[in-house]
Chain A
Amino acid sequence: MRVPSLFILSCLSVTLAVFPMAASALCNVTYTAQDGDNLSGVAELHYADSARWSWLAAANPDLSASPDSALAQGSQVFIPCTPPDPSGQTAASPDMPKVNVLSIVDFAPFSSRTWPAQGIMAELITAALGAGPAPLRPVTAWAENAADGVSQLADSRGAEIGFPLPRPDCSADEARDACARLLYSDPVIEIPLVLFVRSGGGVTYQDDSDLAGRHLCRPAAYSMASLDTPDRHWISEKVVNLVTPDRPETCFQMLAGGQVDAVMLNALTGATTIAAMNLSEQVTALDKPLAQHTLHVAVPKVHWRATTLIYRINAGLRALRETGEYDRVVGRHMTLLWDRLN
């Protein structure tokens, strides 16, 4: 994961600001076919994976069922976010026992209702649960944000596994409840926490003293654990002025409007938000990350199969890494993100 995330970072800080925004890949939308389009080309455009023409064929039964035959210009092609209901052509068989997963609704590109395959994490976890021992097929429900996800899991009446979630530092007081109630998987994705600043705005970051007294923005629902560590007391000693609106978009609006000096977000969520808001010319990511974040799957400890679910995911992820499937999935999503930024 380190390679693709650095790749995105360098895109943001060096090259991307130069390119104008182009058509974005989205899902749960209708695409109007252009002259010369065929299903495999449309699948490549929206999923970075021409093999997913079959998703399009299943979602658009009126259109040609072959990947290479030309679509009539102006044809309306519905682009689903999820694979068709398992009916033989996908790896997940309908007989496979199910597991109820809880995913965060609006955390692109990791998990999102409107990102192909519902996000990188969703696709990796689905693949891991299918590749590990005693395979399971996920049935997805949605949480508003990480905190909502943790509380729904802790309640654990319906949701069995939740993601993507940061793993708290269990030695810290505020993490005690989550650590007492949840088991965490190995890291599924490692991602740098970076500072997004106004291009040419003069804010730099070499060490923490550069940020003293600055106004920094981070959405309230995101973990603040990296801001208060044994050698960093930004919140507890009020070293920085922390602004915590509800949404990443608000942070970037405040950054563009000069109300804050920097936005702190993981590189991919930051890049995705910038792309969606058309801010790639005004906003730059700084090269030096504030921290490395890891995203995990969590399972309530009191669940009837808590430890075996964590084992299935860890073993499945190992298998995906060994076969190279992990890199293929991540690469596909990085290509989509790149296309959105260009």
Chain B
Amino acid sequence: MCRVLFGFLLAFFVTGISPVSARDCTRTYIVQPGESLSMIAQAQYDDAALWEKIHADNLDVIGEKPDAVRAGMTLRLGCMGDAPSTNTPMPRDAIKVLTASGFAPFSDRDLPNGGLMTELVDAVMTRAAPAGGHTIHWIEDRAAHLDPLLSNALMDMGFPWPRPDCETAPQTPLCRTVLFSDPVFEALVVLFTDASRPLPYSNESDIAGRTLCRPRGFPTDDLDRPDRRWTSDGVIILIQPDSIDDCLLLVLEGQADAMVMDEFSGQSAVRRLNLTGRITALREHPLSIETLHVVVPRAHPQAQQLVDMVNTALHDMRESGTFHDILEAHLMRFWGEG
């Protein structure tokens, strides 16, 4: 599947050849795995912002929510009067920034401004002001983010990504694939358990033989590192359903002993699903400190310049107070709901 997707995306993004020309517009288009509306708009019309038009033309297929677009859907692509000539790539493209929903409070299209990290990264890129601007692409198939989208530099940046300890474990796929910005946010990774089935946990030996849940697409390097070989030594059983919500339901059904997630996204899901009181977060004994970053594919020709650009803008925003203001709006909402 990856090879297919890779070849497909390569055709659009790397070579810039698009199958839709201005003349044979108003045709049907079959959504490929890993694609979002903004990605299709970018590929077909060289303008990600036109996703709204595609959405409006295909409400009957996609429905109200634009992120409900799924592989295999057949969309009608109308003529865009100002669609650029498709055989000449834009000289200076917008920086394509990749994220996905389902990670409240950090990134979710249903949150104000797309969530805490989305608003921060959008502000960082606005401040950095690259020549071609930037576009944020919501591609909800999170499992496709690292490979192929980032590994082949089909996207210029991604967020939010936890940084493994790349100094001690440089062979980690994530470390080999991307460069990390300075940390944007830090959170504790904790166990979320069924309140009616307390999980005794005070040190790592208590975890042996347990079934832990981490949604697919979220890195698991914190569960398998040189000093904690939980998955490679078979210390734990790891299950990876599609979403945080699925993990919590599996915990309540007894199919998992705990969900392992950062405290913020876990707690947000617990509240949204009205599971407060039924799920316990073991905050006293965090498994690790997780730092969240913007990443840039190492395969990108300007990888280091892009990381430097993000870091400079991030630093300036922290100095000016803009960073704090954005964080405050999102985190007061998070804590206020507690």
Interface residues of A (CB under 8 A from B): 133-134, 156-157, 180, 301-308, 311-312
A328 to chain B, nearest CB (A): 26
Given contacts A180-B335, A302-B331, A311-B289, whether A157 and B186 have CB atoms under 8 Å apart is: no
Q: Are A133 and B328 in contact (CB under 8 A)?
A: no
Q: Are B185 and A302 in contact (CB under 8 A)?
A: no
- 16 contacts across the A-B interface (CB closer than 8 A): A156-B328, A180-B335, A180-B336, A302-B324, A302-B335, A303-B327, A304-B186, A304-B327, A305-B183, A305-B185, A305-B186, A308-B186, A308-B187, A311-B188, A311-B286, A311-B289
Q: Which residues of B contact A306 (CB under 8 A)?
A: 331
Given contacts A304-B184, A307-B187, whether A156 and B324 have CB atoms under 8 Å apart is: yes
Q: A157-B321, A304-B183, A305-B183 are in contact. List 11 more A-B contacts (CB 8 A).
A: A133-B288, A134-B289, A157-B324, A302-B327, A302-B328, A304-B184, A304-B327, A306-B331, A307-B188, A308-B186, A311-B289
Query: Which residue of chain B has the shortest Cβ distance to A305 in the bound complex?
Result: B186
Q: Which residues of B contact A312 (CB under 8 A)?
A: 289
Q: Are B331 and A301 in contact (CB under 8 A)?
A: yes
B336 to chain A, nearest CB (A): 8
Residues facing A in B234-283 (CB within 8 A) are 263
A307–B187 Cα gap in the complex (Å)?
7
Q: Which residues of B contact A180 (CB under 8 A)?
A: 335-336
Q: Which residues of A contact B286 (CB under 8 A)?
A: 311
* B332 interface hit (Cβ, 8 Å): yes
A190–B187 Cα gap in the complex (Å)?
29
B192 to chain A, nearest CB (A): 15
Kindly identify which residue among A134, A302, A308 contacts B332, using a CB–CB cutoff of 8 Å. Answer: A302
Interface residues of B (CB under 8 A from A): 183-188, 263, 286, 288-289, 321, 323-324, 327-328, 331-332, 335-336
A303–B332 Cα gap in the complex (Å)?
10
A157–B336 Cα gap in the complex (Å)?
20
In this complex, the member of A134, A156, A157, A304 whose beta carbon has the largest number of chain B beta carbons within 10 angstroms is A304
Q: Are B289 and A304 in contact (CB under 8 A)?
A: no
A48–B143 Cα gap in the complex (Å)?
59
Q: Which residues of A contact B321 (CB under 8 A)?
A: 157
A303–B324 Cα gap in the complex (Å)?
7
Query: Which residue of chain A has the shortest Cβ distance to B338 in the bound complex?
Result: A301
Q: Which residues of A contact B289 (CB under 8 A)?
A: 133-134, 308, 311-312
Q: Which residues of B contact A156 (CB under 8 A)?
A: 324, 328
Q: Are B263 and A307 in contact (CB under 8 A)?
A: yes
Q: Which residues of A contact B263 (CB under 8 A)?
A: 307
A307–B286 Cα gap in the complex (Å)?
11
A46 to chain B, nearest CB (A): 37
A134–B183 Cα gap in the complex (Å)?
13
Q: Which residues of B contact A308 (CB under 8 A)?
A: 186-188, 289
Q: Which residues of A contact B324 (CB under 8 A)?
A: 156-157, 302
What 3 A-B pairs have minimum CB-CB distances, sorted nearest first?
A305-B186, A302-B331, A302-B328
A304–B261 Cα gap in the complex (Å)?
17
Q: Which residues of A contact B328 (CB under 8 A)?
A: 156, 302
Q: Which residues of B contact A307 (CB under 8 A)?
A: 186-188, 263
